[in-house]
Chain A
Amino acid sequence: METKKLPDETALAFYSKVSASISHELKNSLAVINESAGFLEDIILMAQKGRPLDPNQIGALAGTVLKQVQRSNTIIKNMNRLAHSLDEKRSSIELIDLLELMTCLVERTAVNKGVKISTTFPETRINLTTCPFYLQTLVWLVLEYSMAACGVDKTIGLGVTQTNAGARIYFSGLKSVTSGSIDDFFSGRLESLLAVLKADLTISESDGRLEFLLPASVPEIFES
């Protein structure tokens, strides 16, 4: 039987998953830096034995280390942005920023599954007052579901438009989207997130599309 999950429980699971993915990415980056340092040691040892130093080789190694430092810095910046979305349960956010962060965070998972996420974002900013962490959790889960539902094309469309009442986020290219598969995947996690975000979900099986309507503002959350 399906059990309704509390949004905090779902969000914590999402946070753990992202943290694990980030730590993996950082370890990969550290492994490259570690090998670069080892290679430098090898070069020094060979130089001590009389082999001339090759400035191009050393320059290439410096470039590799720099690239990994930049990569790690981006990963940590994204982690920091995610961590700060927990500062306040309800706050004003810029929706495109939030979606861009989510596509960065989910990138490794998408690459591992061979899936491409194609985004269509408007030039204008879309400001909402919402529960950012729950919204991030919802987007992450829907992206995870979409990766399983996008079929052989392996491409997910993610877009956003402003509406009179707030905003619409859509996920397209979901060849095998069905209400049943959504129920199976979310197993009680979706309803509580939609409720706290005051969001409405529309499933279009024939178009392979999911749409979430978000209000411009959600009411304050009162802790029990």
Chain B
Amino acid sequence: MSDNVLIVDDEKDFLDLISERLAARDVKVSTATRAQDALSLLDKESYDAVVLDLQMPEMDGLEALKRIKEKNPDVQVILLTGHATVEKGVEAMKLGAMDLIEKPADLTTIIDRIKRAKAEKIILVEKKSEQRIRDILTRKGW
């Protein structure tokens, strides 16, 4: 099954190019130029990873990250940034970002992080399923 990723960046040219290149590598890509639109897409679809620009109009990446994690704690967020200060990086990690990549980034690096994000998400979902089964077993006393 191909990886399913949402890329959020206010640079339209960047979005168009990276989506086409990822699609050629069998990655299913959705895009948004605004964080608000990304949040709406996340309501409708489940993604293996969200690649999020740190600086965007109206709602910046950190605020968007916070809201994404509130809505869906399992979703793996990779931050993409033009200039990452140590403080921002630390803040992003505290808010639950999986990784932070600096622009311009190599496509291989981005794909590698998307694959890692997918694997991480599978582990989280499996853990949750296990917990759910354990809860049922405890409740039913089997």
Contacts and interface: CB of A to CB of B under 8 A. Distances in A.
Q: Tell me whether A and B are bound partners.
A: yes
Interface of A: 20, 23-28, 30-36, 38-39, 42, 64, 67-68, 111-114
Nearest to B19: A35
Contacts of A36: 17
Contacts of B60: 112
Contact of A35 (B21, B55, B56): B21
Contacts of A113: 57
A23 B107 CA distance: 21
Contacts of B17: 32, 35-36, 38-39, 64
A111 B21 CA distance: 28
Contact of B103 (A27, A38, A39, A64): A27
A112 B14 CA distance: 17
Interface string B34-45: 000000000000
A42 B104 CA distance: 17
B82 A32 contact: no
Contacts of B83: 20, 23-24, 27
Given A31-B103, A35-B17, A35-B104, 17 more contacts: A25-B82, A27-B82, A27-B102, A28-B82, A31-B11, A32-B13, A32-B14, A34-B103, A34-B104, A35-B107, A38-B21, A39-B17, A39-B21, A67-B13, A68-B13, A111-B57, A113-B57
Nearest to A114: B58
